[in-house]
Amino acid sequence: MAQLLESMPSASTGQVVVTDHLNFWGGCRVKPKDGINAEPVHEPATGRKLCDMFPCGKEEVDQAIQSAHAAYLKWSKMAGMERARVMLEAARIIRERRDNIAKLEVINNGKSITEARVDIDVSWQTLEYYAGIAGTLAGQHIQLPGGSFAYTRREALGVCVSIGAWNYPFQIACWKSAPALACGNAMVFKPSPFTAVTAVILAEIYKEAGVPDGLFNVVQGGAETGTLLCNHPGVAKVSFTGSVPTGKKIMEMSAKTVKQVTLELGGKSPLIIFKDCELENAVRGALMANFLTQGEVCCNGTRVYVQREIMPVFLEEVVKRTKAISVGDPLLENTRMGALITRQHLDKVLGFVSQAKTEGAKVLCGGEAFIPIEPKLKGGYYMSPCVLAERLERTWRAMSGISDRSTLLTYSDNCTDDMTCVKEEIFGPVMSVMPFDTEEEVLKRANNTTFGLASGVFTRDISRAHRVAENLQAGTCFINNYNISPVEVPFGGYKQSGFGRENGQVTIEYYSQLKTVVVEMGDVDDYFNC
């Protein structure tokens, strides 16, 4: 893998082939046991085969977990400051190789190189943050009567399994492993079978930084491998990022042996834009809330509610800027939207757009398969970013907030709350825009969902902003921005968007357990008089 990373500066889209083994445990890459049942992994930007992924079976999962347990026994006995030094070294290596890892992540995932660099920066920052916490983990002293006392110990769980998603492959591996390792745990990580390449890079970096062999392991596979991991008696915790149906299955399997579970699941988040907003920021925020990573972001604000008075000017500006988004080769610096993850997923997203039109919504722009000019990209999984609402005619009236604007759009509210495109998670670059009149009304509509991952509000009224944030039923509420997730801030959902948190200090509680020790300094009471 070192050679692969070193080749990245000269690599271009459609050129890279990965031949190294993608499983990793015991401190090294592991050859597939049988070398059969290979599943092709494709480069989203071109559609060509990038590598073969060999799913791990029972014997391989056992080996990985045994390796992790042996490393846990060593790592958990180290002082927090000792663990911190190793994690800081891993962060330094990631930071030093940031551009090469980002480039491989683009080839692995299809997102733009601009976004991928941010993902890698977030990754090393995550390791630094939890390295800083590792040395602070402590219990509590409680004084009891008669000079007796009790104290608590914050201890590691053991072997933690993490099952990652394909939209942020390397970053999610860091989000999950950093707090786990800081607490003294070991980890077995299963990446998505669609993005099998970059998790092994992280495993090698941890190895180079000095973790015990087996502390961070990578097993490849799909649902069958995930089932083996969740049912394994040697696993103490499962952390999963992905869909609600899969999350429910993981919760059910983990319950059989009463494993701790963290679930970061899907969303259909509302973004509320009031008429007193700073319109320029609201437009930018709506684009951020819908089109990062080709719209393949679980917390995206895809239900955009705009107060009726500013709906025409908002739609005019959003449509204009959506049309201007540069779609194409994700390794080019000026590209702002790359390829969706697979052909099947592209077809699914396009199917949502088609269904929206059938149900009465109007496509104001995009929503079609996009074929780049370059021949090598013609097999890639691209689509034009889409805005759904309704447009009838132009009206000649100027409104404040956007400069040089003389023609605006009138609309009919045909994109409604009961449409499939508004109710279900699309996980693609599709924005649904709907009008509202009052705060009370829009809050009721915004909360009328089984999801609760994120939400957003744009307004100049600070009292309203905090009031709306309080009443939105979601794990995160962005005020006058969207999709900003620094590692210091907890992230997780309400309702069917999951439970538990990632990032922030609170995550330590999800990767550790509390032991109470009671110390008697006197004699035991003769309660039974014998």
Q: Which residues are catalytic?
A: 264
Write the secondary structure of 200-266 as one string of H (helix), E (strand) and C (coil): HHHHHHHHHHCCCCCCEEECCCCHHHHHHHHHCCCCCEEEEECCHHHHHHHHHHHHCCCCEEEEECC
Helices (H) and strands (E) counted in the chain, each on its own, are: 15, 22
Please list the residues that pair with 130 across neighbouring strands.
Answer: none
Radius of gyration of the chain, Cα coordinates, nearest whole angstrom: 25
Q: How far is C-alpha 483 from the chain's CA centre? A: 11
Residue 479, exposed/middle/buried by CB under 10 A (0-12, 13-18, 19+)?
Answer: middle
Please list the residues that pair with 238 across neighbouring strands.
Answer: 161, 261
Count of alpha carbons within 13 angstroms of residue 18, beta-carbon side: 28
Q: For residue 229, what are the CA distances in angstroms to 65, 75, 172, 200, 251?
A: 9, 21, 18, 18, 12
Distance CA 458, CA 290 (A): 15
Dihedral, CA atoms, 492, 495, 500, 501, nearest 10 degrees? 10
Q: Which of 301, 261, 217, 276 is nearest to 476 (CA)?
A: 301
CB 60 within 8 A of CB 97: no
Q: Which of 78, 120, 128 is nearest to 97 (CA)?
A: 120
What amino acid is encoded at 119 in this protein?
Answer: D
